[in-house]
Structure 1
Amino acid sequence: MTTAPPFIHDRALVESPHIGAGSRVWAFAHILPGARIGRDANICDHVFIENHVQLGDRVTVKCGVQLWDGVQVDDDVFIGPNVTFSNDPFPRSKQRPEAPARTWVRKGASIGANATIRPGLTIGAGAMVQDGAVVTRDVPPNAIVAGNPAHVVGYADTGVRPAEPARRASADDLALQVPGAALVRLPKVIDMRGSLTVGQVDAQLPFTPERFFLVYDVPSREVRGEHAHKACHQFLVCVKGSLSVVLDDGRLRDEVLLDSPLLGLHIPPMVWGIQYRFSADAVLLVLASDPYDPADYIRSYDDYLAAVTADRRG
């Protein structure tokens, strides 16, 4: 752990006594008395930090950023040059809100140059806001967002870059990193009347379904899923069109493309699942091992990480 005193450039104005060991504050930065900066932070030229701002350890704030009251930045966050934050959704001169909107940038997130973050939002842990994006709603953990308004274009650490399609499973490679999850090749029968795809319990289906549902007419920029099940197994088949699925066990992450009724995806319990990049004509069939039970869902990623961590320790 760093024990060296913070470095403060002689052209910086630092009024706060709460600057962590090993942190560096460069020329023409201005930090007000109530601000708190963690260890090993790097505050670059022409940064302004207001009183009610908290920065964690190893945070980088590049040149030309202003952090206003109500902004909280966790450990290991990168904030690029000229990123714009605000804390009042309806500002008027000489009229201040009773309390500033809270904007929370979670651990390990990165925000690219010239991005704009609307007040009161949360940028999820490990997320990436691409340069120039205008963020108008919360960013999910590990999501990569771009555009105006910003929308999800990918997920971090899946091996798939945002500009690329998800990994297409080949006949020879159906392997996934996430333990327990599996891609299943489904048989196709063709005759003069057309084509037929079939799945049978204990052959292609690893469980006996007790319900099914269909997902369709999803706007292309929307994200579905974002939950895990405690006990329920699911089997996904995109019967028309295409979509991408992200699987996450808290340590490893896969992204696969479902674009054929000949490919099924088994998602076991306690795997976080996300569906996005729906084509306009996508129809997703989901077979489930259990009847609907709202108590079976884990909808908070923080709660999910706590649960899988407890399982591994137990």
Structure 2
Amino acid sequence: MIEKIQDCFIPEGSIIAESVTFGPRVVLAGEGIIIRSNVRIDAAAVIGADVTIGQGAWVQAGSVVLRSVPPNAIVQGNPAQVVGYRDGDGTQRGPDPKHVDIHAFNHLPRPTRVNLGVGMSKLFLMRRILDVRGALSVGELPNEVPFVPARYFVVFDVPSMEIRGEHAHKHCQQFLICLHGSCRVLLDDGKNRCEVTLDRPDMGVFMPEMIWGTQYRYSPDAVLLVFASRTYEPEDYLRTYDDFLKEIERRKA
């Protein structure tokens, strides 16, 4: 079955939120496309199969989107690249996230922690020991890692176009280490954003509660290890950016 919305044909198996705005001549070129709420797609844009467009994103005119797009991102070009970010309600362009350069901290003694300027998020630079037998990275709990984990999970075999995360937690804290390959982590506290490329096992990102986290641009060989401070609790998740912003305002009241 093919549906038609504002002159854009929606392939079967795709999920399109009601609040998506389509320009003319937009092409959804394949199945498995997910477009979340408050997305704007301008004229003559092409969205590839199995692509997810995150909540509040803006696909500019003529863009060819072959990889998934993080929430609130502005993408442009062929193939489309992130060129900026919208503010929380999508009404205007917001400040672009700072991309953290790990090499700027090579002079610091290890282990050390670097504030990322997004809530209480931190970059952890852990000890790395090298000798002729190989390399070792180590972190002691809870002195060198911010909490004693209640569980862990491992993300791997992720197609590079896929977005992971896209949620926040009310109470759970997480610590992310990319053991192999690389991925990019976007952290958002509702006002400030930053991106960190995790590409080595002696570097971790601490993501406390009430931080919207997105992981994307996985390399084909990426293995992401995530420690969590709590067991799995479905009610602890904030799964839409709107709910995340509402919870921030509720806590301020």
TM-score (norm 2): 0.71
Taking the aligned partners of 2:66 and 2:200, their CA distance within structure 1 comes to 34
Q: CA RMSD in A?
A: 3.8
The higher relative CO (CA closer than 8 Å, separation ≥ 6) is in 2
- The structure 2 residue matched to 1:141, chosen from 71, 83, 95, is 71
Per-residue deviation, 1:180 = 0.7
Alignment of 1:250-261 (within 5 A): 250-261=190-201
Residue in 2 that maps onto 1:128: 58
Letter in 2 for 1:224: R
Q: Does 1:159 align with 2:92?
A: no
Change (3 A) 1:117 1:275: closer
Q: What are the Cα deviations for residues 199-246 of structure 1, in whole angstroms up to 9, with x where unaligned? A: 112332111111111111110110000011111110001111111000
Unmatched 5+ stretches in structure 2? 9-16, 28-34, 86-94
Alignment of 1:1-314 (within 5 A): 83-84=24-25, 106=38, 111-115=41-45, 124-125=55-56, 127-133=57-63, 141-145=71-75, 153=82, 156=85, 157-159=95-97, 166-169=99-102, 170-171=104-105, 174-312=114-252, 314=253
Q: What are the Cα deviations for residues 16-49 of structure 1, in whole angstroms up to 9, with x where unaligned? A: xxxxxxxxxxxxxxxxxxxxxxxxxxxxxxxxxx
State the secondary structure of the residue aligned to 1:303: helix
Change (3 A) 1:273 1:180: same
Q: What are the Cα deviations for residues 84-140 of structure 1, in whole angstroms up to 9, with x where unaligned? A: 359xxxxxxxxxxxxxxxx9973xx6545532589xx98832x22033235799966
Taking the aligned partners of 2:185 and 2:68, their CA distance within structure 1 comes to 20
Taking the aligned partners of 1:304 and 1:210, their CA distance within structure 2 comes to 24
Per-residue deviation, 1:144 = 3.4
Letter in 1 for 2:140: Q
Change (3 A) 1:73 1:281: closer
Count of aligned positions = 218
Change (3 A) 1:283 1:132: same
1:151 and 1:221 in contact (8 A); partners too: no
Change (3 A) 1:155 1:289: farther
TM-score (norm 1): 0.58
1:174 and 1:183 in contact (8 A); partners too: yes
Q: What are the Cα deviations for residues 20-79 of structure 1, in whole angstroms up to 9, with x where unaligned? A: xxxxxxxxxxxxxxxxxxxxxxxxxxxxxxxx99xxxxxxxxxxxx89xxx9879xx9x8
State the secondary structure of the residue aligned to 1:273: strand
Change (3 A) 1:216 1:139: closer
Change (3 A) 1:116 1:144: same
Taking the aligned partners of 1:175 and 1:296, their CA distance within structure 2 comes to 25
Unmatched 5+ stretches in structure 1? 1-51, 54-65, 87-102, 161-165
